[in-house]
Amino acid sequence: MKNNLTSQQMGKIKNLFADRVRFNKVERLVYSHDMGMMPEQVRALIQCTPDAIVQPISTQEVINIIKIAQEEKIPIVPRGAGSAGFGGSVPAKAGIVIDFVRMNKIIDIDKEDMTATVESGVVWQNLEGELSKRGLTLRTYPSSSDSTVGGWVAQGGNGYGGYEYGDFRQNIVSVDVVLPTGELKSFSGSEIDKVYSLCGITGLM
């Protein structure tokens, strides 16, 4: 299985991510799938095996890898828990998968405002666990409770609590997004539509 990256490009990525980057065949194969199984006829037409997988731990690292990808013209694909099953987190032209698994901090739970501020890789069941310690609960979350908050922003949808509180879009206060230029921007109000349910094509949460 060939790797499209040059050794110089690999070196640049390795410098940034140290032991949080993988170029080996086995892990690249794991990331060539999500929860669903893409038909072989489709897989044959695309390059679904990434060349590298990185796991950022900060927004700055997300910005840094986007800048490298832009400079080197390497495709990138964001990935949460890979539970969507439609192949959105699977590459079509190889490149770099940005796996948000380590950006899993619950930054703030505001009992007055009834809001939670989290990193995109936070998993719903962990957030619900932290809320329940404070006598709170999520208004809505997907039945795939081990999927990520960022993944649901990007994929969009309805979940538990939806009849009462609407779909996830109606429960988002704001989203911080790293744009394809590497610029960090916060979207709120109607601007959330520029990122919600767009599968990460307009930026990374």
Ligand X SMILES: Cc1cc2nc3c(=O)[nH]c(=O)nc-3n(C[C@H](O)[C@H](O)[C@H](O)COP(=O)(O)OP(=O)(O)OC[C@H]3O[C@@H](n4cnc5c(N)ncnc54)[C@H](O)[C@@H]3O)c2cc1C
- Residue numbers at the binding site for ligand X (CB under 6 A): 34-35, 77-85, 88-89, 100, 120, 142-144, 147-148, 150-152, 154-155, 157-159, 199-200, 204-205
Residue whose C-alpha is closest to residue 67's, from 107, 33, 103, 98:
98
Q: Shortest Cβ distance from residue 115 to ligand X (Å)?
A: 19
Q: Shortest Cβ distance from residue 131 to ligand X (Å)?
A: 18
Determine which helix (DSSP H) or strand (DSSP E) holds 133, and give its type and residue range: helix 124-133
- Our CB check for ligand X shows the closer of 5 and 82 to be 82
- Our CB check for ligand X shows the closer of 5 and 100 to be 100
Angle at 84 between CA 10 and CA 23, to 5 degrees: 15
Encode 101-133: b = buried (16+ Cβ within 10 Å), e = exposed.
bebbebeebeeeeeebebbbbbbbebbeeebee
Please report, for residues 10, 45, 91, 144, 154, the alpha-carbon distance to residue 54 in angstroms, rounded to integers and kept in the order given. Answer: 11, 25, 14, 24, 19
Q: Tokens 């997004």 sit at which residue?
A: 177
Q: Shortest Cβ distance from residue 126 to ligand X (Å)?
A: 13
Q: Shortest Cβ distance from residue 37 to ligand X (Å)?
A: 12
Q: Shortest Cβ distance from residue 40 to ligand X (Å)?
A: 21
